[in-house]
Amino acid sequence: MDPATTPLMLARYVALAAADALTLRPVASGAIWYVIAGAGDMSVGGERFAFAAGDVMLTPGGVETVLAGGSSGALLWLVTDEPLYRFAGAVPDPRQTSVAPVHYPADEIARQLQKVVEAAQNATTSGIALIFSSDTLEAGRNILPTLTLSLNTVPPGEHQRAHEHNSAAITLILAGEGAYSMVGGERCDWSEHATLVTPATLPHSHHNPGEARAAFLIVQDGGLHYRARTMGFRFLEPSGQNT
């Protein structure tokens, strides 16, 4: 399966057979992991934790990361900013990183997302989204110095209104029967656990004509754009319900 990439981001799937092990040392500021299926263990930077379906993990770049699949193996989604490091010819220094290992369990993610769903939306919000961060990067609302991660949801029969921004986006579809995205005027029908790449500046919107909530993870190179004040976010349609 080919990786999904933009000039600054790289996404790929990692499949672990039962009792299989994989060792990585990403040349990146860090790595974002989502567990699609199965379970296992992760060891990184002297820390070790068990992971299961629906969990999100954050690991620093330049540090040996070891994954071991459980009795039924595991399938994970991995996103890094490796293309940026390759372009710059840079090597991460683990001694100076602001990224520490973090484990976000699925049940806690669901609990926090429910709080967001219950909160009032207004004309300035771009959708219903849970934003991931850590103690060291919370001020910038980033999960990595360069990247942002959010879990978005669209209620049944509604859509996230059209908008555009200067950051590119890599999206993992989690749920949404019959849901689709409009990207640059083209319809992209969703498929569970497929990856959708939205190039920078293209107008896009997300639509859920189904009877259950649609959910999707979005990684953007937003950390860089927020830092440079070049995000350029703007809506392309009037405010309405669930905007």
Q: Which portions of the chain are predicted below pLDDT 50?
A: 241-243
Cβ contacts of residue 69 below 8 Å, gap of 6+? 16, 17, 18, 19, 20, 21, 38, 39, 40
Rounded to 5°, the CA angle 185-2-192 comes to 60
What is the end-to-end Cα distance of the chain in Å, rounded? 35
- Residue 129: both structure tokens together: 């989204």
Place of tokens 């989690």: 174
Domains along the chain with CATH numbers? 4-104 (2.60.120.10), 106-235 (2.60.120.10)
Asked if 155 contacts 208 with a C-beta cutoff of 8 angstroms, the reply is yes
pLDDT (0 to 100) of residue 119:
82
pLDDT digits (tens, 9 = 90+) for 190-214: 999 999 999 999 999 999 999 999 9
Asked if 204 contacts 197 with a C-beta cutoff of 8 angstroms, the reply is no
Asked if 39 contacts 86 with a C-beta cutoff of 8 angstroms, the reply is no
Q: Which strands sit side by side in the sheet containing 204-208, from one edge to the other?
A: 186-189, 180-183, 204-208, 158-164, 234-235
* Integer Cα distance of 130 and 121 in angstroms: 13
pLDDT (0 to 100) of residue 141:
86
Nearest residue to 203 via CA among 186, 224, 219, 215: 186
Place of tokens 């879990």: 151
Place of tokens 């060891």: 43
pLDDT (0 to 100) of residue 123:
58
Is the pTM above the cut of 0.85?
yes
* Integer Cα distance of 221 and 210 in angstroms: 30
